[in-house]
Amino acid sequence: MNRIIALASLLAIGSTAAIAGPDLQICHGEYALCAASSTDATGRNIVVNGITFREGVSVCPVLHGPAIADMNLMNGSCEAPTGKVWSLFSNVKNFPQAPTWAGRPEIVRTFTTTASPGGGMSNMWSFPCVKREHLVNGVRLADCYGPLNESPWTSTSVPFGSVVGTAAAVGASNPVGGNIP
């Protein structure tokens, strides 16, 4: 719960008058947790609040329970379309992580983004994911699609040289995370 309160505080600090902040809600049920995932560019673009970003895809474990969402990005509903889940934020401390998808403790770290390939960050929070048919090591996975170098707090571009928080392993390509305002 402390992480959810900290996230809500960061969201409030990071919001500006010109950009309406996230519409926070707790969703219950199935969701993808991308906190420790890397992201590969898809070669396509994605539009977030009228701004175009490069699109990325992350493989994320599907979990069950309460999670925090931005209703502005989810059509105002926690219900995902058939065969899909939303990628949400959670306060779980131990969850399946690549490459084995065995449950491991979350290790939060920071890094500075660069212009090198894979040196950016990604935001998967409250974006749609397509559930994979087959389990891996007993874990349901989902392919989640979201923007590269977009701030989850303000929906604006995150410039190279920004400090980002993530739970992805050192060396992960474009780790899922959030810039530190």
Tens of pLDDT along 72-99?
999 999 999 999 999 999 999 999 999 9
Q: How far apart are the C-alpha atoms of 154 and 21, rounded to whole Å?
A: 7
Beta bridge partners of 176: 122
Q: Answer whether 86's CB lies under 8 Å from 144's CB.
A: no
The single-letter DSSP state of residue 93 is S
What are the residue ranges of helices labelled H in 15-88? none
Beta bridge partners of 111: 164
Residue 10 or residue 160, greater confidence: 160
Q: Assess whether pLDDT exceeds 50 at residue 174.
A: yes
Q: How far apart are the C-alpha atoms of 99 and 168, rounded to whole Å?
A: 11
Tens of pLDDT along 14-44?
333 334 578 899 999 999 999 999 999 999 9
pLDDT band at 181 (very low <50, low <70, confident <90, very high): confident
Q: How far apart are the C-alpha atoms of 114 and 42, rounded to whole Å?
A: 19
Q: Give the DSSP H/E element, type plus range, for residue 2.
A: helix 2-14
Tens of pLDDT along 68-79?
999 999 999 999
SS3 178: strand
Q: Answer whether 95's CB lies under 8 Å from 63's CB.
A: yes
